[in-house]
Amino acid sequence: QVLKCSRREPSQAPYGVGTRLPSPLPSNPRCRDPIMFASRGARAPRWLYRGAISASKARTESSVGNVAEVVSGILQDVRQGGIAALDKYCLKYDRIPHKRLSESDIEGCLKACSSQELADVKYAQNNIRRFAQLQRDSMKDIEVETQPGVILGHKHLPIRNVGCYVPGGKFPMIASAHMSVLTAKVAGCERVLACTAPMLGGEPGRPPNLTIVAMHLAGADEIYLMGGAQAIAAMAYGTETIGGVDFIAGPSNAFVAEAKKQVFGKVGIDLLAGPTEMLLLCDDSVDAEITTADLLGQAEHGYNTPAILVTTSEKLAMDTIARIEQELKIIPTAETAAVSWRDWGEVIVVDSDAEMLEVADEIAGEHVQVMHRNWDYFKQNLRNYGGLFLGVETNVAYGDKVIGTNHTLPTQTSGRYTGGLWVGKFIKTHTYQHISKEASVEVGDYCSRLCGYENFAGHKEQADVRLRRWKPGYDTKYYEGSQNQTLLSRPGAK
């Protein structure tokens, strides 16, 4: 393959279409990706491999087309049609109407799980609860006298009604129950509604037993079998039998992420956590067996998972590409992982750790695994990411399932402006104030003038009425004129 490089629009074909690219690539300053690394000027990293779709879309774009229109239709139908509309979509996508699980249903799920499965779930939940509680304990209410007679404070109050979406279907995400339901309960939320889709295939309506058990053990107050955008609609708008919530949390596919985006405002949401992403930052201290496992470990999630290696070692880059090609012939989840790698995989070679850091900050990946002699450099300097996994000893699967940090993380570069789900997402911080009469006079003097500068006579009067009472001889003045240059006494001022 011969690389031909020219200026191109984002919609045009990439210069690497799911195949290896020649190395080294031309250093032509015009050969620069217009979608990514816009701040980099003439220099650009070298792609040794690039998936067909990853090169033609901006990282902020949804990986699925026509999502917004489809989701909008579902949300409006459920909002207007209630249970009838909800069940129309549940029958279409889940094969059964929605169902609230009874105590006996939950007991049946418990009995269907082995003692080892239950012990494993409890071990993971203990770790996640412990870390969430430490986070909660770090959030302190404050009350301070900021100047004589002025008391300011804030209180952290849990959101009362919360909905937790737990992905189901082909890959029932048991861990998402811990990450959302359990974390909400640690935060102190009074009512936590949890939902997940029934199992795919087999008898319609089969509950994902271990997921239901995880929801129950985490403290869910209501558990429903329902998935997809229609479940988000039911939680956001409520139905004849499902009480609406104030806040929705949980990861999932592009449709659920879009549904959360569209209901935001009616309810709060944790973040837009769409299809998973994997970014490896590596030097030559790690080998291709490890990098391959870590890339494909996330690529198996679905058909649209970006899996990216950025490295200073061209040998590691080439070895990883070759190893992935071999591994995809044998792993059980190759059906999904191979498509993600073909369409969304990337292998990028950079010249230095500083350049690696710059590239990583622009990618703003969800999961960033740093396998590097000096991983602390990235811990100290990386700014845009979802979760950070430092050193070869840990990996994303640990964080996804068991270690204690939350696995609901920002995707599609939203790590530029938000972190992931944590106990603080389920908590509102509210301020308050109270002051003495003496302080009211001091503050009121300033407030009165400041309101006058802005022509807010009503605001000004809130200060003035107190000054007339508590500051002897106070003469209320009003500003007149577009430039606030003339002061007039209040009519009838004493």
- Residues recognised as catalytic: 366-367
CA 46 to chain centre: 29
CB 180 within 8 A of CB 260: no
Residue 312 has which token pair? Answer: 């200073």
Relative to beta strand 142-147, strand 150-158 is antiparallel
Within a 13 Å sphere around the CA of 236, how many CA atoms are in the beta-carbon half? Answer: 29
**3-state secondary structure (DSSP) of residue 418:** coil
Relative to beta strand 150-158, strand 161-165 is unpaired
The DSSP element (H or E) to which 432 belongs, if any, is strand 427-435
CA distance 107 to 320: 46
Within a 13 Å sphere around the CA of 105, how many CA atoms are in the beta-carbon half? Answer: 16
CA distance 413 to 61: 9
Residue type, 374: N
CA distance 74 to 387: 32
The torsion defined by the Cα of 14, 20, 22 and 23, in degrees rounded to 10, comes to: 110
CB 212 within 8 A of CB 220: no
CA 376 to chain centre: 24
Residue 100 has which token pair? Answer: 């609230």
Cis omega before residue 167 (within 30°)? no
CA distance 341 to 321: 10
**3-state secondary structure (DSSP) of residue 367:** strand
**What are residue 49's phi and psi, to 5 degrees?**
-150, 140
> Could you count the other beta carbons within 10 Å of the beta carbon of residue 54?
26
Residue 83 has which token pair? Answer: 């249970």
> 417 Cβ partners below 8 Å, 6+ apart?
none
CB 94 within 8 A of CB 172: no
- Which of 241, 239, 246, 277 is closest to 263 using CA atoms? 246
CB 392 within 8 A of CB 371: yes
CB 163 within 8 A of CB 266: no
